[in-house]
Structure 1
Amino acid sequence: MGCSFSGLNALYDVVSGGADVWVNERRFKILKQIGEGGFAFVYLVKEQQGGHPAKLPKHPKYIADDGLYALKKVIIQTDEQLDLVQQEIHVSSLFNHPNLLPLLEHSIISVKGEGAWIQEAYLLFPVYEDGTLVDNLNLMRTKKEYFPTLTVLQIFKQICEGLKVMHTFDPPYAHNDVKPGNVLLSKGKEQSPLAVLMDFGSAAPARKQLRSRSEALALQEWAAQHCSAPYRAPELWDCPSVADIDGRTDIWSLGCTLYAIMYGVSPFEYTLGEAGGSLQLAAMSGQVKWPSGPSPPYPDSLQKFVIWMLEPRVALRPSIEDVLLHIEKLVARLETDSMNRNLL
């Protein structure tokens, strides 16, 4: 792939010691690094004057008044890495929903590496300065704080609403890495937090037919690389030789995520602190331990909701539509109970 105009400008600024990056003729100043993982780096950037956008941004409503955005830079050294970036760009461009992170701009350029040309991808997103859900949960754990039950459900419902768009797309897509670290939060002063599901680097068509041991092992190896272990469904730990896999792998991850919103960690991470503990065995057993939580504790109905999603047998696990219907029932029950208490 040749060097584009934006690529030449990015290369020029890096070589000359600047910190500006061009993406499709829009110019951004790197302010600080806010994330890192594998070959990817995420920066807080501010758009600069002097760029020449060829057309209006794809999502005009996400034009930042303060010019601040998140810019993901991916270093591409192999054909496989290029395929993964192109897949992420493709999947990110499929959906338009307030609870799914939109891709605003993207560019793949060639730059001079150490003795050879390499490629870099730049992906521009809205920035959520309250960070990820896991950032907020970690801070709350240090303070021994917990989300109220209604807030737990409000955050969780938004994650599910975004995921429903993926699961009901034609063809259906699975996210494959639902977890608090892939949920961005924006906390308003007088309203529930806005939750946005992000990172579609592991997303893929949800339906997979396994008809041989080799196909099962290939999916198992792929899952080990792309699906975070504390949130990985049992059927991805030990793939059957003959099976139909679908979006219910994400439902398992949702159950783990709801548990984490409540208690700060996934339901199976306790095994990491035990001698001989195994995430895989804990997940495949479906046995959940309940730590101490807020006082008064979360209602039993919320714990039963988690267990419903953490059903090791895929055929008995609910769909995303089932999950959303149950959330509506739980919220209605909470609001009714609260009203009755106020009347006493």
Structure 2
Amino acid sequence: MTELIKNILNTMCCSCNPFWDTSSPYITINAREYKIQRLLNENTLSFAYMVEYQNPINQSRLTEDPNLNKLALKQLICPFGNINSVSSALKEIENYKSFNSQYIIKCVDSQVVQTEDGSKMVLMLFPFYQKGSLQDLINYNLLDGVNQFTEPEIIRLMVGICKGLLCLHDPTTREDMGNLSNGMDSVSMTMSEDAASLLDNTPLEMNFLTSQNNKLDSFIHLNIKPATILLTDENEPIISDLGSCLRSEREIKTDLDLTNLKQWVTNHCNLFYMAPEIINLKKNSTIDCSVDIWSLGCLLYSLMFGISPFDREEQINGLPLRHNICKGIFSIPDSKTYSQKLIAIIKSCLQVDSIMRPTASELLTQLQDIPK
């Protein structure tokens, strides 16, 4: 088992030192040099930077795609001995390899290294979308005092998001993976003995670490919200942050299953967009793709009214947010801007009984049937 895990890791790890000296603005990842332009975001053990591609040490196809000159670099720190953080980071890398859709973000390169203090550093490079996320656009509109979005704009955005979500949920809809190179060469394939020794006799979840059957799996995103939907220069939506993804369906059979999933939800999910069954996780239950449909209903509401439905309801009636979500208590503001068909889609997504929610495919059909 340990040897198999090491072999999987060997396909994405490199023993060279890619992290940068704080006195230098340059970083080298898999023999390619990047200049760090600015910090985009930071959390306790993760950082995001905008970087610019420099002349490569080894020539690669990256230079043929000028759109990849500026990238977003995600840096995850995995403390020494914390194998869960390592497996989670590797799982995220594998998730990006599973999809070839214009509506799902691509990881253009990645590298895992052992640092001098014994911890691991996981680096991932993505296209940089200068327009930011839907949340950025919602915030801008609110500050500017303009109407959020027109109905045709919302329908176009939602159609793109549904197409991306359908790719996650339904493996039969995925495009051919044969050309999934993203303009990058293969990742280096070596790993230091020190890095490998960290994995000895460690029980890692193999379904997190191998993409051998990913093309046949359904995935739950688990964190659909305006902040995880990026926008291209043409205002096309891109689903990002596949670090939250779980293989569906996730059955909760034991106390350990329940504890692990609760911890995963705490680390990866946003309460304002969280389905009732995620808030009230129970043994002998199953989490499936319908949780993303609930989140999509909340996202649609936010596009229309600038706030998540249950956050708004808490502000109006004073009842706790969790209570409103679990009871499905929300209201639609008076508005003549949007059609009843679009409002009906919100209501169909925000059904407390998950069986009553439409699928991504059904939602896509409903959206495309709304008169333009």
* Whole-angstrom CA distance in 2 between matches of 1:276 and 1:312: 20
Q: How far has the Cα of 1:317 moved from its partner?
A: 1.2
In the alignment, the residues of structure 2 paired with residue 65 and residue 6 of structure 1 have an alpha-carbon distance, to the nearest angstrom, of: 27
Return the alpha-carbon distance in structure 1 between the equivalents of residues 142 and 334 of structure 2: 12
Gap runs ≥5 in structure 2: 1-8, 172-215
CA distance in 2 between counterparts of 1:80 and 1:178 reads 23
Asked if the contact 2:129/2:233 (under 8 Å) is kept, the reply is no
Deviation of 1:175 (Å): 0.6
**CA deviation string 1:124-183 (max 9, x = no partner):** 111110011101100101122211001001111111111111101221011110000001
Cα distance in 2 for residues equivalent to 1:259 and 1:64: 36
Instruction: Determine the C-alpha separation between the residues in 1 that align with 2:24 and 2:314.
Output: 44
Q: Report the counterpart of residue 229 of structure 2 in structure 1.
A: 183
Q: Which has the higher contact order (CA 8 A, sep 6+)?
A: 2
Matched, 1:227 2:269: yes
- 1:6 and 1:25 in contact (8 A); partners too: no
Question: Which digits, 9 at most, give the CA deviation of each residue in 1:225-261, with x for residues without a partner?
Answer: 3221111111111123332321111111111111111
Distance 1:66 1:172 in 2: 29
In the other structure, the counterpart of 1:327 is 367
**In structure 1, distance between residues paired with 2:151 and 2:311:** 22
Structure 2 letter corresponding to 1:198: S
Separation in structure 1 between the aligned mates of residue 115 and residue 245 of structure 2, nearest angstrom: 28
Match of residue 270 from structure 1: 312
In the other structure, the counterpart of 1:120 is 121
Cα gap change, 1:111 to 1:274, in 2 (>3 Å): farther
Q: How far is the alpha carbon of 1:67 from its aligned partner? A: 1.6
Instruction: Give the whole-Å Cα distance in 1 for the aligned partners of 2:31 and 2:149.
Output: 43
Structure 1 counterpart of 2:247: 205
Alpha-carbon distance in 1 for matches of 2:306, 2:129: 20
Which residue is equivalent to 1:110?
Answer: 114
User: Which segments of 5 or more consecutive residues in structure 1 lack a partner in the other structure?
Assistant: 336-344
Query: Match for 1:174: what amino acid?
Result: I
- SS at 2:115 equivalent: strand
Q: Which residue in the other structure is 2:85 paired with?
A: 81
Partner of 2:131: 130
* 8 Å contact from structure 2 (residues 75, 121) kept in 1: yes
Partner of 2:98: 94
Shift of 1:64: 2.9
User: Alpha carbons of 1:175 and 1:48: their partners in 2 closer, same or farther (altered >3 Å)?
Assistant: same
Aligned counterparts of 1:180 and 1:292: Cα–Cα separation in 2: 22
Of residues 16, 27, 30 in structure 2, which corresponds to 1:21? 27
Distance 1:92 1:25 in 2: 21
Would the alpha carbon gap of residues 121 and 260 (structure 1) be closer, same or farther in structure 2, given more than 3 Å must change? same
Give the Å deviation of 1:117: 2.9
- Specify which of 353, 358, 367 is matched with residue 313 of structure 1: 353
Structure 2 SS opposite 1:109: strand
Q: Following TM superposition, by how much is the alpha carbon of 1:103 offset from its aligned partner in structure 2, in angstroms?
A: 0.5
Looking at structure 2, the residues matched to 52 and 177 of structure 1 have their Cα atoms a distance apart, in angstroms, of 37
Using the alignment, how far apart are the partners of 2:259 and 2:122 within structure 1?
A: 30
Aligned to 2:339: 299
CA displacement at 1:217 relative to structure 2? 4.9
Alpha-carbon distance, 1:21 to partner: 1.1
Cα distance in 2, alignment partners of residues 79 and 271 from structure 1:
40
Q: TM-score, normalised by structure 2?
A: 0.78
Report if aligned partners of 2:151, 2:337 keep a CA contact under 8 Å in 1. Answer: no
Pairs aligned (count): 315
Give 1:148's match in structure 2, choosing from 144, 147, 150: 150
1:44 aligned partner: 50
Asked if structure 1 preserves the Cα contact closer than 8 Å seen for 2:41 and 2:49, the reply is yes
Aligned partners of 2:313 and 2:330 also within 8 Å: no
- Report the 3-state secondary structure (helix = DSSP H, G, I; strand = E; otherwise coil) of the residue aligned with 1:14: coil
Q: CA RMSD in A?
A: 2.4
Instruction: Name the SS of the counterpart of 1:323 in structure 2.
Output: helix
Are 1:213 and 1:240, in contact at CA under 8 Å, matched by a contact in 2? Answer: no
Gap change, CA 1:26 and 1:143, over 3 Å in 2: same
Find the aligned partners of 1:18 and 1:244 in 2 and give their Cα distance.
49
Within 2, Cα distance between the matches of 1:66 and 1:108? 21
AA in 2 matched with 1:287: I
Deviates more, 1:31-40 or 1:155-164: 31-40
TM-score by length of 1: 0.85
Q: Distance in 2 between matches of 1:213 and 1:315?
A: 25
> 2:282 corresponds to which letter in structure 1?
P
Stretch deviating more after TM superposition (68-77 or 33-42): 33-42
Deviations 1:72-130 (A, max 9, x none): 11111122111111010010111010000000000012223xxx232211101111100
Query: Residue 35 of structure 1 aligns to a residue in which SS?
Result: strand
Which AA in structure 1 matches 2:101?
A: H
Tell me the CA shift for residue 275 of structure 1. Answer: 8.5
- The one-letter amino acid paired with 2:143 is T
Q: CA deviation at 1:262?
A: 1.1
Q: Which residue of 2 aligns with 1:139?
A: 140
